[in-house]
């Protein structure tokens, strides 16, 4: 196995998956799946079915060598989990890769799967962690600013920085970014044991998808400073459509083979939870922009009318 590990940098750089497949096929110790004829190899670890669905899956998965990438997926993390190098494998991304993944989460390409196209067996924790951190502070700061502008003219208003809300925002967003992928991964594993699915994701890939899909909420939160209810709800809808479609296109291949109703229910739950996060943040951190501007002038007019009447 050490030969393969040492050969990896060159292999990954040259993207010669054929050589990798041959190497791994030749090594009896490694986890292998046969890439020539799946029917010949009874130990089909990833459950590749030999029917016409494979071609359309390759299209949906966005790459021709999808099975070869799954081959490499099993070989990556080799250091034991108590060493620092193990965690370094989760940060093995360059700047352009992170930017590409962010771009892929904001502009969903119809028919392409985010995980296969961008993550490609290299899930990183940099994106999810720092996108969540930025989102926490974006929501807290934008909420504070929007409340300041809404209540600006009122005489009884005194500005408070509302620092408590930062910890509440952090708890909510990090819980969403880690617990929902955990639940979804557990659910998919459970369904996988009952129905042989073509596509199965690792826990880190799901965390990665969810983390990057939260990126769209950062500009949304900044634009929520605008104190117009209609504008805010339009922003929510747009953000939900973009990142929700990325999530749906990612997870639909994983539940498609299942019972129709369960597949639909899973997709609806994923989108619903995503929407709930957005709407919850909007409701809690951003005060409603009410029509306070009109009320003082109306009260002043009533006051003058009453005063003239009593005179």
Partner 1 sequence: MAEAEESRAGGAAKPLFAGLSDVSISEDIPVEGEITVPVGSHSPDEDYSTLDEPVKDTIMRDLKAVGKKFVHVMYPKKSSALLRDWDLWGPLVLCVSLALMLQGGSADSKEDGGPQFAEVFVIIWFGAVVITLNSKLLGGTISFFQSLCVLGYCVLPLTVAMLVCRLVLLASSGTVSFIVRLVVVMAMFGWSTLASTAFLADSQPPNRKALVVYPIFLFYFIISWMILTFTPQ
Pick the closer one to partner 1 by CB: 87 or 233: 87
In whole angstroms, how close is the CB of 9 to partner 1 at the nearest point? Answer: 13
Pick the closer one to partner 1 by CB: 113 or 144: 144
In whole angstroms, how close is the CB of 155 to partner 1 at the nearest point? Answer: 15
Pick the closer one to partner 1 by CB: 32 or 144: 144
Closest by CA position to 73, among listed 172, 179, 201? 201
Pick the closer one to partner 1 by CB: 160 or 196: 160
Pick the closer one to partner 1 by CB: 142 or 266: 142
In whole angstroms, how close is the CB of 160 to partner 1 at the nearest point? Answer: 5
In whole angstroms, how close is the CB of 133 to partner 1 at the nearest point? Answer: 7
Residues interacting with partner 1, by CB under 8 A? 84, 87-88, 90-91, 93-96, 98, 126, 130, 133-134, 137, 141, 144, 158-165
Pick the closer one to partner 1 by CB: 95 or 193: 95
In whole angstroms, how close is the CB of 255 to partner 1 at the nearest point? Answer: 33
In whole angstroms, how close is the CB of 119 to partner 1 at the nearest point? Answer: 16
Pick the closer one to partner 1 by CB: 163 or 190: 163
Closest by CA position to 61, among listed 123, 141, 121? 121
In whole angstroms, how close is the CB of 106 to partner 1 at the nearest point? Answer: 17
């Amino acid at each position: 196995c050490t030969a393969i590990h040492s050969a990896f940098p060159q292999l990954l750089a040259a993207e010669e998956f054929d050589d990798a497949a041959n190497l791994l096929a030749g090594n009896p110790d490694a986890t292998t799946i046969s890439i020539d004829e799946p029917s010949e190899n009874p130990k089909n670890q990833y459950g590749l079915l030999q029917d016409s669905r494979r071609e359309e899956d390759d299209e949906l998965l966005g790459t021709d060598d999808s099975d070869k990438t799954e081959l490499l997926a099993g070989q990556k993390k080799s250091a034991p989990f108590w060493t620092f190098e193990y965690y370094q494998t989760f940060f093995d991304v360059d700047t352009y890769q992170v930017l590409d993944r962010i771009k892929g989460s904001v502009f969903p390409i119809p028919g392409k799967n985010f995980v296969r196209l961008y993550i490609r067996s290299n899930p990183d924790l940099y994106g999810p962690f720092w996108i969540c951190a930025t989102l926490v502070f974006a929501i807290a700061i934008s909420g504070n600013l929007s409340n300041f502008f809404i209540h600006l003219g009122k005489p009884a208003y005194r500005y408070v920085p509302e620092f408590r809300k930062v910890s509440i925002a952090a708890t909510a967003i990090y819980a969403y970014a880690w617990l929902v992928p955990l639940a979804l991964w557990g659910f998919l594993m459970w369904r996988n044991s009952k129905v042989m699915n073509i596509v199965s994701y690792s826990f880190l890939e799901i965390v990665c998808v969810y983390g990057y899909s939260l990126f769209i909420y950062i500009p949304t939160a900044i634009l929520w400073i605008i104190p117009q209810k209609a504008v805010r709800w339009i922003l929510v809808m747009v953000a939900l459509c973009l990142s929700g479609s990325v999530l749906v296109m990612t997870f639909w291949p994983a539940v498609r083979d299942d019972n129709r109703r369960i597949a639909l229910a899973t997709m609806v739950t994923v989108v619903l939870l995503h929407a709930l996060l957005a709407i919850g943040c909007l409701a809690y951190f951003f005060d409603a922009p009410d029509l306070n501007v009109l009320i003082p002038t109306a009260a002043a007019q009533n006051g003058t009318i009453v005063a003239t009447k009593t005179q």
